Amino acid sequence: MLISCKYQSINWTHENFTSFYDYNFGNCYTFNSDLNQPKESVRSGPIKDLRLKLYAGNIETEQQFTYSSGFRVIIHNHLLIVYQSLSVIVSIMITRQKN
């Protein structure tokens, strides 16, 4: 579940994502899928990056229903068809939060 999304210092919502179902991975979501007006980065760094805050569920209470939870993040050119076997480098920071 998407909690928050920030790209180039702008807050985005779930409405900026398109969704599809993948037989192997379940629900999939794509950010920046508009082929007519793609969002582009010309600089790197903490101000221009894509930041997602995602909720994977509570494994302690949902363990009876699933053996794992998590996300697969694939970064690619928006004009290419993506295959899940692609190798990409993604930095993911996981933080456990108590309510």
- Confidence class of residue 58 from pLDDT cuts 50, 70 and 90? low
Return the percentage of the chain with pLDDT > 70, whole number.
Answer: 62
Query: CA 53, CA 65: separation in Å to the nearest integer?
Result: 23
Give the tens place of pLDDT for each residue, 62-94.
Answer: 555 555 567 777 777 777 766 655 555 555 666
Structure confidence at residue 73 (pLDDT): 77
Q: What is the mean pLDDT of residues 10-33?
A: 82
